[in-house]
Structure 1
Amino acid sequence: MKKTIIGFFLLFFAAQLTYAQEDASKQAIIELSKAKWQWMADKDAEKLAELFDEKAVFVHMGGSWGKEQEVNIIRSGGIWYKKADIHEVSVEIIDNTAILLNRITLIAEVGGNEVTNPFEVTEVYIKKAEGWKLGSLSFTKLMGSGNH
């Protein structure tokens, strides 16, 4: 009976530890995403280049492309992500992949014109030896104000 009780407590403790680690990972991804939005607003192409995986893909209203083109667009100011007002955020972790959903209102400058759009943004992060890398960033335009 004593071994059963100890076994139960060890199992319970291990489950709690696993949930705590997952919560910490989710919070780390949320913080990394917030930092990414700031780096985009600051046009900090170097930090973004470090965050983006070499095989990363970016999906925008005007098309899709890879890491090099995204970094060059940010560096040149072709798209300036001025401010992302985050209304909702959620993270799911599957093995070494984190999927973050952001419901945002994005203020950006595109081709010299300021635009404001509501988006659901999907960010996919992959855990690698050197840390989390962004593997995909996709913008889906919402039909409302974006903050519902």
Structure 2
Amino acid sequence: MKSTILTFVFALFFIQMGVAQQSSEEQTLIKLSHDKWQWMSDKDVTKLDALFDAKSKFVHMSGTWKKEEELDIIKTGRIWYKKATVKDTAVELFGNTAIVWNRITLDAVVREQVAVTEFTVTEVYQKNGQGWKLLALTFSSVRETHQIKQ
């Protein structure tokens, strides 16, 4: 009987450890995604360059481009991601790959015009060693009432 209880306690402990690790990893990705929005607002291309994978791609309402063009757009202010207000976030982990969905209101300056737009942004990350690299970022225009299903 003691052996059965002890086995159950150890199993419960290891299950909780696994859940805690996953939750911690999800929190890391959420923080990284939120930091990315701030770096985009600050036009901090040094931090973004380190985050974006060399083959990363970006899908916007007006086109699709690769890392170097995205960094140039941010650096030159062709699009200024002035402020991203994150309203909802969901994360799914698939081994070394993660998808982060953010529902945001984006205040931006595009071609010298102020634009406030509702988006769901899909970000794909891959764990590389100890850190995460952004592989893809896609903006999807949505209604203000859109919700991300958990």
Report TM bin, short chain. over 0.9
Name the TM-score, length of structure 1 as normaliser. 0.94
Task: Tell me, yes or no, if structure 1 residue 19 matches structure 2 residue 15.
Answer: no
Q: Which residue of 2 aligns with 1:93?
A: 93
Percent identity between the two aligned chains: 48
Q: Which residue of 2 aligns with 1:36?
A: 36
Task: Tell me, yes or no, if structure 1 residue 140 matches structure 2 residue 137.
Answer: no
Q: Secondary structure at the match of 2:43?
A: coil
Q: Which residue of 1 aligns with 2:70?
A: 70
Q: Which runs of 5+ in 1 are unaligned?
A: none
Q: Which residue of 2 aligns with 1:10?
A: 10
Distance, in Å, in 1 between the alignment partners of 2:37 and 2:145 is: 17
Q: Which residue of 1 aligns with 2:127?
A: 127
Q: Which residue of 2 aligns with 1:113?
A: 113
Q: Which residue of 2 aligns with 1:60?
A: 60
Name the TM-score, length of structure 2 as normaliser. 0.92
- The CA deviation at 1:111 is 1.3
Distance, in Å, in 1 between the alignment partners of 2:115 and 2:105 is: 10
Distance, in Å, in 2 between the alignment partners of 1:46 and 1:137 is: 18
Q: Secondary structure at the match of 2:11?
A: helix
* One-letter amino acid matched to 1:16: Q
Q: Which runs of 5+ in 2 are unaligned?
A: none
